[in-house]
């Protein structure tokens, strides 16, 4: 969520420079893109438990279209590069995470997706509990500690990068003494001045909500905290883009958004500052593969995941959305984040158990919609 697809931060950067008022869309309308031709080389052998091979020793004859559901800012560039390299036709459905998960739920008995690529392992844990993901797929790469910590025991999804949720973004010309803790946001000094995203629409935001609940000691204590935030005038927008727009317009003074979105906004407007309240939740971007599609499409999805984690694929990720989702921490050994990212050694982070919080997503989001958004 990171990224959210409703707002491309390259465009946002230009708007910030012009000082214009951004009119951000909610991101509920996706797009489709079909890429590729009919031939392919370099895919895995049949059987999703085997590691795919990028060297071309094996081949997929008569490839089928690979359907990619994604909420990543660099996804179009990535599928373009993948399709060009392997001549596999790819249909990209680019949308915000919430609508993509709704589409998967609506079609789970007759799936029309092959691969899901969004931020937050909680969503994948929930899909895994429903029996919708393949198990045992292990890309042939060397993960670093961030990557290893993000891999589930049954290997039902693959981490591709890590961002943080939530970053606190503020305008230093308006805020001289920013909050220093989550509890400080409840102060009357910030009444009506704090904004965040709607977790039912913004994929990165539910792990943030779950992370606050985990930190405070459970769902009930978390609900009490967000209820107090609402009583203090919490402003809810659909996704990162509109929340940052509210900050740029002066509607709010504090924006709680995905770190990649916040850092990208600060790159565009030098008055914006990004800080982290302790603790901040680690947010892995992940790829999961549909268990119910054909074996051939599963093979293509495995090849795509391994390509994403290859040096060539990582280069595309880091250049596909340089002021947005490309601002992530790599999960493969030797990978280096873009220069604008702070070192994680100076940030107190926490992880949440996706198998605890993933199945709770629907009920927590329903409560949040009824009690905080409304």
Q: What is the pLDDT of residues 150-189, one digit of tens each?
A: 999 999 999 999 999 999 999 999 999 999 999 999 999 9
- pLDDT computed for residue 353 by the predictor: 97
Q: Round to whole Å and give the CA distance between 192 and 331.
A: 38
14: pLDDT confidence band, cut at 50, 70 and 90? Answer: very low
User: Is the pLDDT at 192 greater than 50, yes or no?
Assistant: yes
For the chain, give the percent of residues with pLDDT over 90. Answer: 79
Other beta carbons within 10 angstroms of residue 252's beta carbon come to 26
Paired with 167 in beta bridges are 257
User: Is the pLDDT at 213 greater than 90, yes or no?
Assistant: yes
What is the residue-averaged pLDDT of the chain?
87
269: pLDDT confidence band, cut at 50, 70 and 90? Answer: very high
Q: List pLDDT tens digits, range 28-60.
A: 333 344 454 333 333 333 344 444 444 443 347
- Calculate ∠ Cα 143-147-148, nearest 5°: 80
Mean pLDDT, rounded, for 232-252: 97
- Calculate ∠ Cα 166-168-170, nearest 5°: 155
- pLDDT computed for residue 300 by the predictor: 97
Other beta carbons within 10 angstroms of residue 369's beta carbon come to 15
Q: Are 273 and 169 in contact (CB under 8 A)?
A: yes
Domains and CATH numbers, the chain: 9-162+283-343 (3.40.190.10), 165-281+354-373 (3.40.190.10)
Mean pLDDT, rounded, for 313-325: 97
- pLDDT computed for residue 98 by the predictor: 87
Beta-carbon contacts of residue 66 (< 8 Å; ≥ 6 apart): 88, 89, 90, 91, 114, 115, 297, 300, 301, 304
Higher pLDDT, 8 or 267: 267
Paired with 170 in beta bridges are 254, 273
User: Is the pLDDT at 271 greater than 80, yes or no?
Assistant: yes
Q: List pLDDT tens digits, range 61-116.
A: 889 999 999 999 999 999 999 999 999 999 999 998 889 999 999 998 888 999 99
């Amino acid at each position: 969520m990171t990224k959210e697809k409703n707002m491309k931060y390259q465009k946002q950067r230009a708007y910030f420079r012009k000082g214009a008022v951004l009119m951000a869309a909610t991101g509920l309308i996706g797009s489709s893109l079909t890429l590729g031709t009919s031939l392919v080389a370099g895919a895995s052998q049949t059987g999703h438990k085997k590691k795919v091979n990028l060297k071309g020793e094996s081949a997929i004859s008569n490839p089928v279209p690979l359907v990619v559901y994604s909420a990543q800012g660099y996804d179009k560039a990535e599928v373009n590069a993948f399709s060009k390299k392997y001549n596999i036709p790819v249909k990209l459905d680019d949308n915000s995470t919430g609508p993509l998960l709704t589409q998967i739920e609506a079609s789970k008995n007759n799936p029309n997706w092959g691969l899901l690529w969004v931020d937050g392992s909680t969503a994948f844990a929930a899909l895994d509990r429903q029996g919708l993901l393949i198990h045992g797929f292990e890309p042939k790469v060397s993960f670093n500690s961030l990557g290893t910590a993000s891999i589930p025991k049954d290997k039902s999804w693959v981490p591709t990068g890590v961002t943080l949720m939530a970053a606190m973004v503020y305008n230093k010309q308006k805020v001289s003494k920013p909050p220093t803790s989550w509890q400080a946001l409840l102060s009357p000094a910030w009444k009506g001045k704090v904004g965040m995203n709607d977790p039912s629409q913004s994929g990165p935001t539910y792990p943030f909500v779950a992370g606050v609940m985990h930190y405070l000691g459970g769902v009930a204590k978390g609900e009490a905290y967000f209820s107090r935030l609402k009583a203090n005038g919490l402003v809810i927008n659909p996704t990162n883009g509109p929340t940052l727009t509210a900050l740029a317009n002066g509607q709010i003074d504090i924006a709680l958004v995905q770190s990649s979105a916040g850092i990208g906004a600060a790159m565009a407007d030098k008055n914006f500052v990004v800080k982290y309240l302790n603790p901040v939740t680690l947010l892995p971007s992940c790829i999961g593969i549909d268990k119910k599609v054909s074996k051939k499409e599963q093979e293509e999805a495995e090849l795509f995941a391994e390509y994403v984690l290859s040096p060539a694929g990582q280069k595309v990720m880091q250049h596909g959305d340089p002021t947005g989702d490309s601002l992530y921490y790599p999960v493969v050994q030797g990978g280096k984040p873009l220069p604008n990212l702070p070192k994680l050694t100076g940030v107190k982070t926490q992880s949440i158990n996706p198998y605890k919080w993933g199945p709770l997503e629907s009920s927590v989001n329903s409560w949040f919609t009824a009690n905080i958004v409304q």
